[in-house]
Amino acid sequence: MPELPEVETTRRGIAPYLEGQRVNRVIVRDRRLRWPIPEDLDIRLSGQRFVKIERRAKYLLLNAEVGTLISHLGMSGNLRLVEIGLPAAKHEHVDIELESGLALRYTDPRRFGAMLWSLDPLNHELLIKLGPEPLTDLFDGERLFQLSRGKAMAVKPFIMDNAVVVGVGNIYATEALFAAGIDPRREAGSISRARYLKLAIEIKRILACAIERGGTTLRDFVGGDGQPGYFQQELFVYGRREEPCKVCGSILREVKLGQRASVFCPRCQK
Residue 260 known to be catalytic? yes
Residue 3 known to be catalytic? yes
- Secondary structure E strands in 29-77: 50-56, 59-64, 68-72
Give alpha helix (H) positions in the chain. 4-18, 41-45, 141-148, 155-159, 170-180, 193-213
Q: How many CB atoms lie within 10 A of CB 67?
A: 16
Does residue 143 have a known ligand-binding role?
A: no
Cβ contact 103:44 at 8 Å: no
Give me the phi and psi of 157, to 5 degrees please. Answer: -60, -25
Residue 2 known to be catalytic? yes
Does residue 151 have a known ligand-binding role?
A: yes
Strand partners, 256: 261
Distance of CA 99 to the CA centre of its chain: 29
Taking each helix axis from N to C end, the angle separating 170-180 and 193-213, rounded to the nearest 10 degrees, works out to 130
Distance of CA 72 to the CA centre of its chain: 9
Among the listed residues 3, 8, 92, 97, the single catalytic one is 3
Among the listed residues 11, 55, 58, 80, the single catalytic one is 58
Does residue 91 have a known ligand-binding role?
A: yes
Amino acid found at 269: Q
Residue 134 known to be catalytic? no
Half-sphere exposure of residue 188: CA atoms within 13 angstroms, side-chain side:
22
Question: Where in the sequence numbering do the catalytic residues fall?
Answer: 2-3, 58, 260
Please enumerate, by residue number, every residue annotated as part of a binding site: 91, 110, 151
Please enumerate, by residue number, every residue annotated as part of a binding site for DNA: 91, 110, 151
